[in-house]
Amino acid sequence: MTVTQPPLSHPDAWWRDAVFYQIYPRSFADANGDGMGDLSGIIDKVPYLESLGIDAVWLSPFYPSPGVDAGYDVANYFDIAPEFGTLDQADQLIAALHQAGIKVVIDLVPNHTSSEHEWFRQALEAGPGSPERERYHFRYSDDGMPNNWGSLFGGSAWASVHELTGKEEDRHWYYLHLFAPEQPDVNWDHPDVHEHFEQFLRFWCVRGIDGFRVDVAHALVKAPGLPDDDVGPDRWQVLDPDEEVEKQPDSGPAFNQPGVHEIYRHWRAVLNDYGEDKLLVAEAWVEPASELANYVRSDEMSQAFNFPFLKAGWDAQAMRHVIDETMEANAAVGAPTTWVLSNHDVVRHATRFGYPCGTDIERGIGPDDPQPDEELGLRRARAATLFMLALPGSVYLYQGEELGLPEHTTVPPEARQDPSWFRTDGVVRGRDGCRIPLPWSAQGPAYGFNETGQSWLPQPADWGRFAPEQQDDSASTLLMYRAALALRARLSLGRGELQWVEAPDGVLAFDNGEHRIILNVTDEEQSIPATGSVIMTSWAGVVSDQDADPCRWDTDTVTVPANGCVWIEK
Ligand code: NOJ
């Protein structure tokens, strides 16, 4: 069966098959030694980024912020946080990346501001019923919370205004926050909100930004009247594996309302003032795929993250199902599909795959939890990555995965920073383990993250073994990524088509043009019909003409080892 991509609405767009690399600025590289990464640190590493062979970077938020949710609580959308640098340095970084042929995508956080944003301060100051409060969702209720919504970080989605201001007039007033109380949701029925984010797009386009990753893109518009939902106030608990009713945390009247699409159509028109190829990518946890595809219709966003692929697990059937479903849904609206295995919100895939398939680790991992099989996890992660890189469409990588970095699974409770840890009394371990500052050298202070040894999250003791300087043999994870990215580009795999090939249970095989890709998701070696020569493997990296073939062949059958992936030139 062939899953065709065309006709695409934007067949020539640069992002159609681009490989994006997510930089989480606070954990990438720290030039000033304060324990928090910064823009100068990223500038220093542009040659490294160039050597990876990526097409674009996506920078997680770098705006002034109290940092309650690691920068996703923005206090000023038109500046750079002092701990990260200055607007001048942002300009330098954009120029340096462009010079290296790398596009720059930044994070846009439109669902909520920080409670330190001037709008929210003005709203608190101005009091009940004031126009200033109209920019957020303030509600009066003398009978408990205004509705039953829960925060995605735990607890109610409503916070008491009276507790903040201490003013009598604020008694029984609440404001809405789908995330932390320090992240009040803005009211997208208010013209100022529309105006503000349009200005944001224009401000950063003028500075040369090539696109925007839109945070919680499915939550901006709420159902009129904010009716109760059927998830209830313990929204985070729906992830409880023992819960009998399957519910989606991101469902109900706070999510995926039809009105969001009007916003994105308008943004598309605004961005078209700066050229037709500005990227908008949706972070939208929306199912099914056909519903998510509405975000990437030709006059809305360019792409949406393919989270079902990330969540499919080490399960051949589930992966194939997601690939078919998402490619078909996107093809129906003329959009290319994206692929992703890791980001700053989920357990790193080198660790996820180190657990038996189906193990529930969505809440994160702590020192008292069962620990993964690290070797198996990495072997499978490399195979999954190689498989993903051969799929048509575009790919999102997360900093450190090219080093084979696992999750830090034993972050001590006293070092935890994620608000979900605090708001659930530690039941949700949180996302700190995937956000640990990178190791740039085998030894030395903070493994080369900086020169002082400070680090906003603790690095594990053996972090240095993942440093780039430790990975100079061709079988290393870093060199596998580099070689695979180079080949992917040379062979135009991202612009190809996928044609499934029959394979035994637990094996996925497809042709993309002149190449056959085989992924063995089982724990035993598997033989699959194929002819030609192996050009890449997930265990030995690139295979050159002089190398002996790393696979066993029996005339027209190739044997792929357990948890391995190969690329074959037919
Ligand atoms: C999604 C971001 O990726 C996550 O890190 C953040 O906590 C929430 N949105 C709230 O902004």
Mean pLDDT across 398-407? 98
Cis peptide bond prior to 308, omega within 30° of 0 = no
Predicted pLDDT at 1: 53
Query: For residue range 212-253, what is the model confidence (pLDDT) as tens digits?
Result: 999 999 999 999 999 999 888 887 775 555 555 556 778 789
DSSP 519: E
Per-residue model confidence (pLDDT) at position 251: 79
Classify strands 552-554 and 557-560 as parallel, antiparallel or unpaired: antiparallel
List the residue whose alpha carbon is closest to atom 2 of ligand 1: 215
The dihedrals phi and psi of 490, each to the nearest 5 degrees, come to: -60, -35
Between the CA of 71 and the centroid of ligand 1 the distance, in Å, is 9
Nearest CA, atom 6, ligand 1: 72
Encode burial over 252-261: b for 16+ CB neighbours within 10 A, e otherwise: bbbbbbeebb
pLDDT band at 472 (very low <50, low <70, confident <90, very high): very high
Predicted local confidence at residue 545, as pLDDT: 82
Q: Environment class of residue 397 by beta-carbon count within 10 Å: exposed (0-12), middle (13-18) or buried (19+)?
A: buried
Mean pLDDT confidence for 314-338: 97
Q: Show the 3-state SS of 462-518.
A: CHHHHCHHHCCCCCCHHHHHHHHHHHHHHCCHHHCCEEEECCCCCEEEEEECCEEEE
CA-CA-CA-CA dihedral for 95, 97, 101, 106, to nearest 10: -100
> pLDDT (tens digit, 9 = 90+) per residue, 256-265?
999 999 999 9
Question: How confident is the model at residue 58, as a pLDDT?
Answer: 98
As a whole-number percent, the residues of the chain with pLDDT over 90 amount to 92
Q: What is the pLDDT of residue 107?
A: 98
Active-site annotation holds for 283: yes
Dump pLDDT digits (tens) for 512-561.
999 999 999 999 999 999 999 999 999 999 998 888 899 999 989 999 99
Q: What is the mean pLDDT of residues 3-10?
A: 70
Q: How far apart are CA 184 and CA 130, in angstroms?
A: 17
Contact 157, 176 (CB under 8 A): yes
Best mutation site among 177, 182, 215 for ligand 1 pocket (most ligand atoms within 8 Å of CB): 215
435 alpha carbon – ligand 1 mean position (Å): 13
Q: What is the mean pLDDT of residues 39-62?
A: 98
- The pLDDT value recorded for residue 546 is 85
* Distances in whole angstroms, Cα of residue 359 to Cα of each of 13, 287, 355, 418: 39, 22, 6, 22
From the list 177, 197, 170, 195, the residue with the least C-alpha distance to 136 is: 177
Strands lying side by side in the sheet with 565-569: 2-3, 498-501, 507-512, 515-520, 565-569, 533-537, 541-542
Ligand 1 site-directed mutation target among 179, 418, 428, most atoms within 8 Å of CB: 179
228: annotated active-site residue:
no
Catalytic residue among 132, 210, 250, 283: 283
Q: What value does the mean pLDDT take over residues 71-76?
A: 98
Mean pLDDT for the stretch of residues 320-332: 97
pLDDT of residue 382: 98
Provide the pLDDT for residue 330.
97
Q: Is the pLDDT of residue 167 over 60?
A: yes
C-alpha to C-alpha distance for 377 and 255, rounded to whole angstroms: 34
* Cα 296 → chain centroid: 17
Within 6 A (CB) of ligand 1 lie 69, 72, 109, 179, 215-216, 283, 344-345
More confident position, 230 or 180: 180
Q: How far apart are CA 518 and CA 507, in angstroms?
A: 7
CA 408/CA 367 separation, integer angstroms: 9
Task: For residue 395, name the pLDDT band (cuts at 50, 70, 90).
Answer: very high
Using 50, 70 and 90 to split pLDDT, how confident is the model at 56?
very high
Q: Hey, which of 68, 69, 307 would you mutate to test ligand 1's pocket, going by the most ligand atoms within 8 Å of its Cβ? A: 69
Contact assessment for residue 98 and residue 104, using Cβ atoms and an 8 Å cutoff? yes
* CA-CA-CA-CA torsion sign (81, 82, 85, 86): positive
Taking the whole predicted model, whether its pTM rises above 0.85 is answered as yes
Do residues 264 and 110 lie in contact, with contact meaning Cβ atoms separated by under 8 Å? no
Contact predicate 20/339, CB 8 Å: no
Rounded-to-integer distance, Cα 213 and Cα 344, Å: 13
Considering the chain, what is the average pLDDT of its residues?
95
**Is pLDDT at 181 greater than 60 in this prediction?**
yes
Which DSSP string do the residues of 140-202 spell out, in sequence order? E-SSSSSS--B-TTSSBSEEEHHHHH--GGGTTEEEE-SS-TTSPBB-TTSHHHHHHHHHHHH
Catalytic residue among 132, 185, 215, 432: 215
SS3 237: helix
Look at residue 144 in the predicted model and tell me its pLDDT. 93
**How many C-beta neighbours within 10 Å does residue 101 have?**
11
Q: What percent of the chain has pLDDT over 70?
A: 97
pLDDT tens string 501-517: 999 999 999 999 999 99
Nearest C-alpha neighbor of 128 from the set 183, 165, 178, 181 = 165
SS3 22: strand
Minimal-distance CA residue to ligand 1 atom 4:
345
pLDDT for residue 175: 98
